[in-house]
Amino acid sequence: MIEVLVVDDDFRLVNIHSGFVARTPGFRVAAGARSGEETLAALAEHRPDLVLLDLYLPDVFGLDLVRRMRAEGFESDVFVISAAREAEAVRAAVRLGVVSYLLKPFSFDDFTERLEQYAERRAGLAAAAVRDQADVDRAFERATAPNPLPPKGFSAETTKLVESALRVAEGSLSASECAERVGISRVSARRYLERLAEGGSAEVSLKYAGRGRPERRYAWARRA
């Protein structure tokens, strides 16, 4: 379980973002904070794995707070959530090793997708064995991709999991069934399945039941 500290000067957003974290499998809210000083106190008390950080705090600019965190020995990863669109803020976030940067306003799907990407990279780095330069290069690729301001992309690890779920399925899968087997959100599963279908690796069929919209079902298209 990845422990998260939620930081925003608006208590309503602390509550909203905490709710988003609670709805994302594999993540748990450790605490909330509304200023730089509260953040440092919460870091000392809870030692979270990840800090969701607004940049516009009442007592310090968020990226200056990251520098102070590092100076005081706090090693939590930082995920910036901010309305700050200035190029210099983004470049500074990259230099400071921020793991993701999400612009306000955003949807739950945007938010949880980036948390899932972070969890995948974190798991990959934790499991990585270093035997030679190729292993070192792969570790750095995991740590630096996707970019803090990525287009809506796709993880190679998750693509492989979705492909595997389709390959071994008896018949077709819905997005919900695939999500349950792979351990991702239904929305993310649907995106990956549609991408496989667009590339010809999956076939789509429609299942009609009652008056509602038909259910889209997916099957692996390249069976031996």
Q: Is 96 helix (H, G, I), strand (E, B) or coil?
A: coil
- Give CA–CA dist 34/112, Å, rounded: 22
- Give CA–CA dist 5/132, Å, rounded: 36
Strands of the sheet with 215-220, listed across from one edge: 173-174, 215-220, 202-207
pLDDT at 79: 95
- My answer on whether 174 and 81 are in the same domain is no
178 in a domain, yes or no?
A: yes
Which residues, including other chains, have CB under 8 Å from residue 5's CB and lie 6 or more apart?
Answer: 29, 30, 31, 32, 33, 39, 42, 43, 46, 48, 50, 51, 52, 76
- Tokens 């969890």 belong to 119
pLDDT at 149: 40
138 in a domain, yes or no?
A: no
- Tokens 């005081």 belong to 72
pLDDT at 48: 96
- My answer on whether 49 and 119 are in the same domain is yes
- My answer on whether 114 and 197 are in the same domain is no
Q: What is the pLDDT of residues 81-121, one digit of tens each?
A: 988 888 888 888 888 889 889 888 888 888 888 898 888 88
29 in a domain, yes or no?
A: yes
CB-CB contact of 23 with 69 (8 Å) = no
151 in a domain, yes or no?
A: no
Burial of 39: CB neighbours in 10 Å, binned 0-12, 13-18, 19+: buried
148 in a domain, yes or no?
A: no
- My answer on whether 166 and 117 are in the same domain is no
149 in a domain, yes or no?
A: no
Structurally, the chain folds into a number of domains equal to 2
26 in a domain, yes or no?
A: yes
Query: Domain containing 183 — which CATH number?
Result: 1.10.10.10
State the residue range of the domain holding 164: 156-220
Give pLDDT tens digits along the chain (224 positions): 999 999 999 999 999 999 999 999 899 999 999 999 999 999 999 999 999 999 999 999 999 999 999 999 999 999 999 888 888 888 888 888 898 898 888 888 888 888 988 888 887 765 555 566 665 665 555 555 544 443 345 777 788 889 889 988 988 999 999 999 988 888 888 888 988 888 788 888 888 866 667 888 999 885 43
pLDDT at 218: 93
41 in a domain, yes or no?
A: yes
Query: Domain containing 104 — which CATH number?
Result: 3.40.50.2300
- Give CA–CA dist 134/25, Å, rounded: 32
